[in-house]
Amino acid sequence: MLEAFFASIFVGLILLGLLALSYGIMFKLLMPKGKYDYYIIIPSEGCGEEITQAAYSARTKLNLIGDENHGKVLVLDKGMNEAQRLSCLNVCRQTNGIYLVSVEELEELFK
């Protein structure tokens, strides 16, 4: 009975490893060869917990795929008050690659 239990755990771990290996191979095959700079834009009228989580999540995904040098997360200020703006700036200072920009700065960025 105990042998069957450990055998099933062992087979499960082997299947999980094969799944992770196939995911890694497919991921490398589907990634473009050239690396280009790109932006993930998160529009926001306030800097609440959901915006903070979205920005951290986007940055974590960039780190996961190895594009931390090419991708940037922009939180677009669409009318934050001063307290919300300072809160967002604090989040941006704590995490490299997350930037708070206004609509005017975004227009200048893409000219």
Percent of the chain with pLDDT over 70: 98
Specify the pLDDT at position 12.
Answer: 96
- The pLDDT of residue 49 is above 90: no
Q: What is the Cα–Cα distance from 25 to 16, expressed in whole angstroms?
A: 14
Taking the domains of the chain in order of start, what are their residue ranges?
Answer: 1-31, 34-109
pTM for this one? 0.66
Specify the pLDDT at position 83.
Answer: 86
Specify the pLDDT at position 45.
Answer: 83
Structure token pair of residue 69: 């040098």
